[in-house]
């Protein structure tokens, strides 16, 4: 699910999800920063959930009828090899989530709430922006007329 930590994804339960309202939540006791976290779900997340619907009564992600407890499996490592991905950690997905949001212009205060970061400085640690990502910001002044004497 978008931007979540591995533990929150592995233990995700259907009771945490409202498909009708298109959101899920992580309780304060399950969230690293100690505060409950509401997560709006985009189309891709909804598609994954719709596909998983009915596969298990309690848990969203299961393997052979049991909740997923381990992600770094042989199947996972083989998938990374097939995708040509090296030196990968689950937490890299959180960085990617934040970076993609930054690249499409999501404001810091919105990204902070989407990712469940308590303080803004944490958002900045996750949201990496390549210099070319600032091109759109620089271009905002292209049509500004400056009066010169």
Spell out the SS3 assignment of 100-135: HHHHCCCCHHHHHHHHCCCCHHHHHHHCCCCHHHHH
Q: What are the pLDDT digits (tens) for 25-73?
A: 999 889 888 888 999 999 999 999 999 999 999 999 999 999 998 888 8
Domain(s) of CATH 1.10.443.10: residues in the chain: 1-86
> Catalytic annotation on 31?
no
> Catalytic annotation on 37?
no
> Catalytic annotation on 10?
no
How does residue 22 score in pLDDT terms, banded at 50, 70 and 90?
Answer: very high
- The three-state secondary structure class of 38 is strand
Task: Give CATH for domain 1-86.
Answer: 1.10.443.10
> Catalytic annotation on 22?
no
Question: DSSP state, 39?
Answer: E
Question: How far apart are alpha carbons 41 and 19 in whole angstroms?
Answer: 9
Q: What is the pTM of this model?
A: 0.78
Q: Phi first, then psi: what are they for 132, rounded to 5°?
A: -65, -20
Catalytic residue (one of 53, 91, 109, 118): 91
Q: What are the pLDDT digits (tens) for 88-102?
A: 988 899 999 999 998
């Amino acid at each position: 699910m978008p931007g979540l930590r591995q533990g929150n994804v592995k233990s995700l339960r259907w009771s945490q999800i409202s498909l009708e309202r298109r959101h899920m939540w992580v309780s304060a006791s399950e969230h690293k920063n100690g505060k409950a976290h509401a997560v709006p779900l985009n189309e891709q997340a909804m598609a994954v959930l719709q596909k998983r619907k009915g596969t298990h009564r309690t848990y969203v992600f299961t393997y052979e009828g049991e909740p997923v407890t381990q992600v770094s499996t042989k199947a996972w490592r083989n998938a990374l090899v097939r995708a040509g991905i090296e030196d990968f950690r689950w937490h890299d997905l959180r960085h990617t989530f934040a970076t993609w949001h930054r690249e499409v212009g999501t404001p810091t205060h919105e990204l902070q709430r989407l990712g469940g970061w308590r303080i803004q400085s944490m958002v900045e640690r996750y949201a990496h922006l390549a210099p070319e990502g600032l091109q759109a910001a620089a271009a905002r002044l292209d049509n500004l007329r400056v009066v010169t004497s």
